[in-house]
Amino acid sequence: MPPSNTLPGTRARLSVLGRDMTTAQSTEIFSIGGDLPVHRLGYGAMQLPGQGVWGEPADRDGALRVVRAAVEQGVDFIDTADSYGPFVSEQIIAEALHPYPENLVIATKAGLTRQGPGIWTPVGRPAYLKQQAELSLRHLKVDRIDLMQLHRIDADVPLADQLGAFKELQDEGKIRHIGVSEVSVAELAAAREIVEIVSVQNLYNLTTRQSQDVLDYATAEGIAFIPWFPIATGELAAPDSPVADIARELGATPSQVALAWLLQKSPVVLPIPGTKSVDHLTENLGAARLTLSDEDMARLDALA
């Protein structure tokens, strides 16, 4: 069954572009897998490494600051992956936050390999996936990964073998929950025949909605839907973005409107906007208290 939490029906406007100490905890709670409660506006750590999601960031101290600021501003769900760097993102998270706050949920992923900046190659061999999960445990400095997601399905390896590797680690107590990423409805249904799937992470935002059917399925089944690139890698945050006019009317920024739209599309959506800037982080979290009217939602829906 889908979760019962719904967004309030009253309309709110942002008066200071989200810089009034609004925190992620202004959003409602969704329980991933039924036992990991998180506020619905999280933080995506893909941008922490260097250019092309490769190597060390130009400003490591700045990366540490933004991760710490995310938690200070109420974020209790952080999404990362072994391939971000590789491992740089996980290492920065651990350096910034370990020992972790008790309520912090960290999700990571395995299944994409890196051969250079901007290059991503799926590898789903069970031994490799188990090795990467063990390395993520080490880099994140945890005994158990809250949510381990298959970053991509490797077409050359049976899906049962790929998810089976995570299930073995789950049985050993090293993984709490399992999710999948960038899948079709048929692939998600097939995955659920193999193991319990509690989350799906697909590309989805105001202007990119090819995964609408997956979101509809996740909503009906109460599965967390984690949209990656929730503000289209910044394109929706630009002053001339498709949502700029509506944002001005609401006294908000385009990125806040794009995130608020996601939050109101379904109660299972957990947006994870990423940034290297504390100012942009604070701006993004301002979406937590922006409620769009039915008219606003209809105008935004028409932008697809």
> What is the set of active-site residues?
84
CA dihedral over 46, 47, 48, 49, signed as positive or negative: positive
CA–CA separation, 290 and 248 (whole Å):
13
Contact yes or no for 260/291 (Cβ under 8 A): yes
Among residues 98, 179, 176, 204, the alpha carbon closest in space to that of 141 is found at 98
Among residues 225, 144, 150, 131, the alpha carbon closest in space to that of 191 is found at 150
Does a cis peptide bond (omega within 30 degrees of 0) precede residue 273?
no
Helix, strand, coil content of the chain in percent (nearest 5) = 40, 15, 45
Output the six-digit token pair for 33.
Answer: 């897998």
Exposed e or buried b for every residue in 106-141, given b needs 16+ CB within 10 A? bbbbbbbbbeeeeeeebbbebebbbebbeebbebbe
Residue 35 burial (CB count, 10 A)? 9
CA–CA separation, 219 and 267 (whole Å):
7
